[in-house]
Structure 1
Amino acid sequence: MQLDVVSDTVCPWCYIGKKRLDQALAMHGGNNIVLAWRPFQLDASIPEGGVDRKAYMEKKFGTERAKEVGNTIRDFGAAVGIAFRFDRIERSPNTLDSHRLIRWAGTAGRQDEMVDILFRRYFEDGEDIGARDVLVDAAAEGGMDADIVRDLLAGDADKELIRREDMTARELGIQGVPSFVINSKWVMVGAQEPKTLVRMFDKLLAKEAEEAASAAQ
């Protein structure tokens, strides 16, 4: 079963969804599930270099609503072991380069780990994951060749590919993240509870096995 997780690196619900997915895979065993992370930019209009996060969030939600949203997310995060520290985050970055890094991590077999690293660095450490020196450091932490990543980030490698994948997600009808796309056919939206994901895995894997058995007869 192919499981594509469509997410953005500055989406707190995606971080919560990642932790819940990790729990689901541990419960299930993850057998016969091929996992890949796919890009989605919640706001591609943010310029390179990012914008002031406090002003951005207040403009988007309003001051009081922004606080309420933050408190709700912190509560859900704590339940899965995330210590959200929104007070440490100074910039809302453009996430294109972070998605490029995640893609490259996939070629090194470190994609899932890189997603975790970027989420932690942004939401818990308050680092600017739009800054290339931060991304290079994250690559090194994830066991990638920092010099190669630095050179790639300096150019345009895979920028258009990331934009096309983002557009493909939207063409599938995805408007919010995280979204789970199974075998390029079924889409489940939102940070699902682990038990819900396990039930989905069991049902679809059983269906695959049944179809394979029928084809073999």
Structure 2
Amino acid sequence: MLLAAQLRLALCLLILLVAWSTPPAASASAANDPAGLHINHVKLASLDSMVRQADLIVYTELRDDSKPYPTGHSIGSGKLYHYTQTALVKRTVKGSIASTSFKLVVDGVEPLPKPSDPLNDTYTGPFTEGLYVLFLQQTAERGTYTLVGGGWQAVYPVVDNRIIALQQGGFPELNGLSVQELAAKLRPSAASSR
């Protein structure tokens, strides 16, 4: 009888010890919450600078599966959101990735600003489904990336196997290149940044 009581007491103490040493589920998920991620918006001076800062440069297909995460911050007349979107890797130009897909995190404003609003030049919001070349920086969460510089300079749509440099800051020397030509052009810069 005494032995059974001691075993029950030991079992209760063990359960309490495990309960106290296990972090609550909320704090574990907070580290992976895209809303808490800081996206640094910096205008890049040159293509070489963007290549050097990129952990990963990929030719990718973005899916139309964006999910909004309110950050709790106001900007202009709207609220700042972070969006996650699935990207499927078609080709890696710089860096390596263990998976064939990753999570892209970008930021945007809701409600959408008027087209003439300068916020549109900084905050991309989620992208339409399609093919892109993206210059990316890895976040603290494995398999999650943000755009180098945080905005449009790191985004290059691909149409008919040709890269389009956007007016919102794309580097014009990439305009009209194929993905293969881009890889050849960036090879010296990508090799020197490793």
Give the TM-score normalised by structure 1: 0.28
Structure (1 or 2) with the larger CA radius of gyration: 2
Q: Select the structure with the greater relative contact order (CA < 8 A; seq sep ≥ 6).
A: 1
Higher helix share: 1
Give the TM-score normalised by structure 2: 0.30
